[in-house]
Structure 1
Amino acid sequence: MAYHYTLPLLLLSLSLWCIPGNSNTTAPVAATSFIRAKCLTTTYPSVCIQSLSAYGKTIQKSPKQLAQTALSVSLNRTQSTRVFVTKLNKFRGLKSREYAAIRDCLEVMSDSVDRLSNSIQELKNLGRASGPGWFWHISNVQTWVSAALTDASTCADGFAGRALNGRIKWSIKTRMTNVAQVTSNALALINQFAGKY
Structure 2
Amino acid sequence: MNPISLAVAVLVVSLCSFQAQGDDDLIIKACSKTSYNDLCKAILQAAPNSNDADLYGLTQIALNIAAQNVTNIYQTIDKLQNDSSVDSFVDECLTDCLENYQDATDQIEDSVTALEFKAFNDVRTWVAAAMSDVATCDLGFKDKPGYQSPVHQMSAVFDQICSIVLTFNHCLIEGNVHLTS
Which interval holds the TM-score relative to the shorter structure? Answer: 0.7 to 0.9
- Which residue does 1:154 correspond to in 2? 136
TM-align CA RMSD: 1.9
Q: How much does 1:83 deviate?
A: 0.3
Q: Which amino acid aligns with 2:117?
A: N
Q: Mind listing any 5+ residue stretches in structure 1 that lack a counterpart?
A: 1-28, 127-136
TM-score normalized with structure 1 length? 0.73
- Which residue does 1:107 correspond to in 2? 99
- Which residue does 2:125 correspond to in 1? 143
Does structure 1 residue 191 correspond to structure 2 residue 174?
no
Query: Residues 122 and 138 of structure 1 are in contact (CA less than 8 Å); yes or no, is this contact kept in structure 2?
Result: yes
2:113 to 121, 125, 133: 121
1:176 to 121, 145, 155: 155
The total of aligned residue pairs comes to 156
Q: How much does 1:56 deviate?
A: 5.7
Which aligned runs of 4 or more in structure 1 are off by greater than 3 angstroms?
Answer: none
Q: How much does 1:61 deviate?
A: 4.2
> Following the alignment from structure 1 to structure 2, what is the Cα–Cα distance between the partners of residues 59 and 120?
20
> Following the alignment from structure 2 to structure 1, what is the Cα–Cα distance between the partners of residues 133 and 25?
32
Does structure 1 residue 49 correspond to structure 2 residue 41?
yes
Residue correspondence of structure 1 range 1-150 to structure 2 within 5 A: 30-55=22-47, 57-58=49-50, 60-126=52-118, 137-150=119-132
- CA distance change for structure 1 residues 58 and 47 in 2, over 3 Å: closer, same or farther? closer
Q: How much does 1:184 deviate?
A: 1.2
- Which residue does 1:132 correspond to in 2? none
The range that moved more, 154-163 or 71-80, is: 154-163
> Following the alignment from structure 1 to structure 2, what is the Cα–Cα distance between the partners of residues 51 and 123?
19
> Following the alignment from structure 1 to structure 2, what is the Cα–Cα distance between the partners of residues 125 and 55?
22
Query: Residues 82 and 109 of structure 1 are in contact (CA less than 8 Å); yes or no, is this contact kept in structure 2?
Result: yes
Query: Residues 97 and 164 of structure 1 are in contact (CA less than 8 Å); yes or no, is this contact kept in structure 2?
Result: no
> Following the alignment from structure 2 to structure 1, what is the Cα–Cα distance between the partners of residues 171 and 48?
18
> Following the alignment from structure 1 to structure 2, what is the Cα–Cα distance between the partners of residues 152 and 110?
10
Q: Which amino acid aligns with 1:151?
A: D
Q: How much does 1:121 deviate?
A: 1.2
TM-score normalized with structure 2 length? 0.79
- Residue 31 of structure 1 aligns to a residue whose secondary structure is coil
Q: CA offsets per residue over residues 50-78 of structure 1, 9 Å max, x none?
A: 11111262452411111111110111100
The structure in which a higher percent of residues are helix is 1
Q: Which amino acid aligns with 1:97?
A: F
Greater RCO (Cα-Cα under 8 Å, separation 6 or more): 2
Q: Which amino acid aligns with 2:168?
A: L
Query: Residues 45 and 51 of structure 2 are in contact (CA less than 8 Å); yes or no, is this contact kept in structure 1?
Result: no
Aligned residues with identical type, % of pairs: 23
> Following the alignment from structure 1 to structure 2, what is the Cα–Cα distance between the partners of residues 107 and 33?
40
Q: How much does 1:181 deviate?
A: 0.9
- CA distance change for structure 1 residues 157 and 31 in 2, over 3 Å: closer, same or farther? farther
